[in-house]
Structure 1
Amino acid sequence: MLSIRELLVLAVIIFVVWYGYRVYARIDSARTRRAADQARRSANKKPELDLVRCPQCGAYISDPNIHVCDPDGPAR
């Protein structure tokens, strides 16, 4: 038969294991959430464009090969 002292020790051990599992689960959840947020941010990030100033009209363009200058200059 188990004495009261042994039952209390058993209850404390069960509580410590249960609480340790909760802390571990919370840390793991935060880690996976942080990784998912970081992956989502990097997936939504658009590539940056280098803009070049057109020597004829002064407009900033991303691809000089497809740019057609307006005879009146850029719209202001």
Structure 2
Amino acid sequence: MKVKSFKELRIDTINTHGTGCTLSAAIATFIAKGESIEFAIRKSKDFLTKALKNSYSVGNGPGPVDHFYHFGDSNEF
């Protein structure tokens, strides 16, 4: 069995709500589309990193990642 490491810079934010679900759903989606596991992980980590960079605060505690960052300024409600 070959072990592969996937590294990414840490994003300085407390708004991490939903990161695990987002990452696993993105990986599963790419695999369901027929992509390789390595491709799925790389693309999913890229998506999650961008979603974390665009995360926002809502109320108290950790806010959500921004799943819709690619549509423009989705932080304005």
> Structure 1 length as normaliser, TM-score?
0.28
Question: 1 or 2, which has the higher strand percentage?
Answer: 1
Structure richer in helix, relative to its length:
1
More relative contact order, 1 or 2 (CA 8 Å, 6+ apart): 2
Task: State TM-score, norm by structure 2.
Answer: 0.28
